[in-house]
A = this chain, B = another copy of it.
Amino acid sequence: MGATKTEYFTDQQNAIAVIAKALGHPARVAIIDYLLRVDDCICGDIVNELPLAQPTVSQHLKELKNAGLIKGDIEGNRICYCIDENTLQKLQSYFTDISSVLEKKKNNCC
């Protein structure tokens, strides 16, 4: 018990859940926000932007990377992270689909 039963759900459902889960922590939302604000990709100071210790930030970055939401290249001393637009696109089109279904339904029963 305790572990998510991913094998019982569809690939699509699991894929959406993985991406959503990665965004399910304010620090990770803050990281995405920061990467959006920064010009180009000269990152390297994400740690200073967050109210968390360096290992904690590193861990959150790892999770965002595992979920495919960001990608990073080694650049000398530093790592340059930026948003992976493809993955965000996936989530966005999922919501677009939902919206269009809801649009057709127009059920106001609740």
Binding site for B on A (CB under 8 A): 4-6, 8-10, 13-14, 16-18, 20-30, 32-33, 36, 39-41, 51-52, 71-73, 80-85, 88-89, 91-92, 95-96, 98-99, 101-102, 105, 107, 109-110
Contact = CB atoms under 8 A, between A and B. Distances in A.
Mostly, the A contact residues are helix
Contact of A21 (B24, B96, B99, B102): B24
26 contacts: A6-B26, A8-B52, A9-B27, A9-B30, A9-B51, A10-B26, A14-B26, A16-B29, A17-B25, A17-B28, A18-B24, A20-B24, A20-B29, A36-B105, A39-B105, A40-B109, A72-B110, A73-B109, A73-B110, A82-B109, A83-B98, A84-B110, A85-B102, A88-B99, A89-B99, A95-B95
